[in-house]
Amino acid sequence: MKDNINKIDQDPKTVYWIVLEKLSIVLCLVIVFAGALALNLPWWAVGAILGFSLGPIVYGHYYFIYIRPVLKRRED
């Protein structure tokens, strides 16, 4: 994973990919928020759904973007 961080110095496009990654996480959370609002739930339930979905969404993004490629390189 350290190699992926060092690529930022070599390739300025990496910064844009990082921003798109964060934008994707926020978009997923907005979709979950909109879905919870569409169910017409009380505010505490909307907050609970958003809070419980925060961890899996962030970990899922990081797993597929950072962790999985490193594990595949180790297997090869």
Of residues 60 and 69, more confidently modeled? 60
Q: How far apart are the first and last CA of the chain?
A: 16
Mean pLDDT of 2-20: 67
Mean pLDDT of 58-63: 89
Separation in Å, CA 62 to CA 18, 35, 38, 46, 74:
11, 23, 28, 24, 17
CA 44 from chain centre, in angstroms, equals 24
Of residues 21 and 2, more confidently modeled? 21
Write down the pLDDT at residue 24: 92
Write down the pLDDT at residue 3: 60
Indicate if the pLDDT at residue 23 is higher than 80: yes
> Average pLDDT of the chain?
84
